Amino acid sequence: MKRTFLFLLALTCFTTVLQPSPASAETPKTSVKKSSARKATPAEIAASANGWTYVNGEWIHPDGYKFVKNQLLRTTAKPGKDAPKPPGKLALENPESLTPKTKATTTKTAAETAAEIRKKNLAPSAAPRTGTHL
């Protein structure tokens, strides 16, 4: 009697493990995060930054603070003033969108640089002022 009961118990456990449940059949195998499906706008990222800017790999606040390794460091801020809120998660994930835009420098081609050097070398220079009038 015990042996039959244990056999039936093991058989039912084994068959339920092999059969997929209806709930698991409906869910997809790969789950996609909702946040990665939607792109954040620059306005949302700027609002999340709380006034911080990302310059040369560091988060800098105009009040004189730095945000390094999840810590606020006071650099030139006056004591007694409240520290600003750190940048938000959205800003920390997209720092390149908060870097200040610099003027685009004009790049010279190799031919232009060579022409400038040639012109500089061919231009007459002033006479040396060392020597005596004996």
Say what the pLDDT of residue 45 is.
Answer: 83
Q: In 3D, which of 58, 73, 67, 104 has the Cα closest to residue 86?
A: 67
Encode the chain (134 residues) as per-residue pLDDT tens digits.
878 877 877 778 777 656 655 555 555 555 445 544 467 787 888 888 888 888 888 888 988 889 988 888 888 888 888 888 988 888 888 888 777 666 666 678 889 999 999 999 999 888 877 777 76
Q: How far apart are CA 87 and CA 45, in angstroms?
A: 10
Structure tokens at 42: 């620059």
The identity of residue 72, as a single letter, is L
Q: Please indicate, yes or no, whether the overall pTM of this predicted structure exceeds 0.85.
A: no
Q: Where are the domains of the chain?
A: 38-95
